[in-house]
């Protein structure tokens, strides 16, 4: 089946998405910072037989519009809620990585009737009082990294990432490089982002939730203490820890990642 590449207007922005299609339960995928929707391609290929997978490009990423500002989690939530509304999606499942996982979590807390379930791949632990906002040095480092990577050709990006991440499959490298080429520098403009009451939002999540964690020493963000804190708030949440992976869990331990995702999706398959 040929995947659809479409653009809609939602939340006042032109948003691009790729959709596998079919009369099946809908699974919306929200990517991490600097990635785009097609970075989910290996996952979507394995799930499209049972799900209508929608891979959204976040604002400033991929082929979506890049406004001058407004790149906080609340704005991303408004965008994905707009997508769900415009496409008339009925309680989709939402799977997110990092920035996209923050979006999925806040969506479930502020729009509890929208997602049927959420899956969170190593989100920044905004629910933890010990989680600090990015420092000016961290923001500067992110800018420097984007500028540096954009100076490279696609082939150079792929070669460098292949050497840096030998556990990634070849199917991951092309979409990863393409996402960096399409990334807008406007994504760094976070000073005007809307404030979020994470304390209230997280406590309002009612849907089934899966938190996927990995190893801090390999670069994962969520610690075991962070996971315990979130599970105390969300007793319905399951935690799946995947060894041998860092922040990009699915890219580093793809088979085990897909196993835990499919297991969770199977468990919620007949529940509403």
pLDDT band at 1 (very low <50, low <70, confident <90, very high): low
Q: What's the CA gap between 208 and 268, in Å, rounded?
A: 8
Spatial neighbors of 146 by CB under 8 A, at least 6 apart, are 34, 180, 183, 185, 188
Q: What is the mean pLDDT of residues 52-59?
A: 98
Tell me the C-alpha distance between 177 and 147, whole Å. Answer: 14
Q: What angle (nearest 5°) sits at the alpha carbon of residue 61, between those of residues 55 and 63? A: 70
Backbone φ and ψ for 13, nearest 5 degrees, come out as: -125, 150
**Nearest by Cα to 105 from 203, 27, 236:** 203
Q: Could you tell me which of 92, 143, 144, 138 has the C-alpha nearest to residue 115?
A: 92
Q: What percent of the chain has pLDDT over 90?
A: 89
Residue in the block written with tokens 């996952």: 43
Confidence (pLDDT) at 138: 81
- Model confidence at 129, pLDDT cuts 50, 70, 90, reads confident
Number of domains in the chain: 1
Give the span between the Cα atoms of 199 and 36, in whole angstroms.
28
- The whole-model pTM stands at 0.96
CA-based end-to-end distance of the chain = 28
| Confidence at residue 194, expressed as pLDDT on a 0 to 100 scale | 86
Mean pLDDT, residues 161-174 taken together: 97
Q: 204: how many CB neighbours lie within 10 A of its CB?
A: 13
CA gap 139, 57 in Å, rounded: 22
Domain CATH number, residue 158: 3.40.50.1820
Q: Domain residues for 182?
A: 4-268
Q: Quick one: pLDDT at residue 270?
A: 52
Measured CA to CA, the distance from residue 139 to residue 173 in angstroms comes to 25
């Amino acid at each position: 089946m040929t995947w659809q590449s479409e653009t809609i207007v939602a939340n006042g922005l032109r948003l691009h998405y790729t959709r596998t299609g079919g009369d099946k339960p809908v699974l919306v995928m929200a990517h991490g910072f600097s990635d785009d929707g097609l970075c989910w391609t290996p996952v979507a290929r394995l799930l499209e037989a049972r799900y209508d997978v929608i891979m959204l490009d976040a604002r400033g990423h991929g082929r979506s519009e890049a406004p001058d500002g407004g790149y906080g989690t609340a704005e991303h939530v408004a965008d994905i809620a707009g997508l769900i509304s415009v496409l008339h999606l009925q309680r989709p499942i939402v799977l997110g990585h990092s920035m996209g996982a923050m979006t999925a979590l806040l969506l479930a807390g502020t729009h509890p009737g929208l997602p049927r379930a959420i899956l969170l791949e190593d989100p920044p632990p905004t629910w933890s009082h010990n989680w600090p906002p990015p420092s000016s040095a961290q923001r500067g480092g992110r800018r420097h990294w984007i500028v540096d990577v954009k100076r490279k050709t696609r082939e150079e990006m792929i070669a460098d990432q292949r050497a840096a991440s030998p556990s990634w499959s070849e199917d991951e490298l092309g979409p990863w490089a393409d996402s960096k080429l399409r990334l807008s520098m406007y994504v760094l403009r976070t000073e005007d982002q809307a404030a979020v009451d994470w304390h209230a939002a997280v406590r309002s999540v009612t849907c089934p939730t899966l938190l996927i964690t990995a190893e801090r020493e390999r670069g994962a963000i969520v610690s075991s203490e962070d996971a315990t804190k979130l599970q105390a708030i969300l007793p319905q949440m399951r935690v799946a820890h995947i060894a041998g992976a860092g922040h990009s869990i699915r890219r580093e331990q793809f088979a085990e990642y897909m196993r835990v995702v499919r297991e969770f999706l199977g468990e919620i398959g007949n529940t509403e």
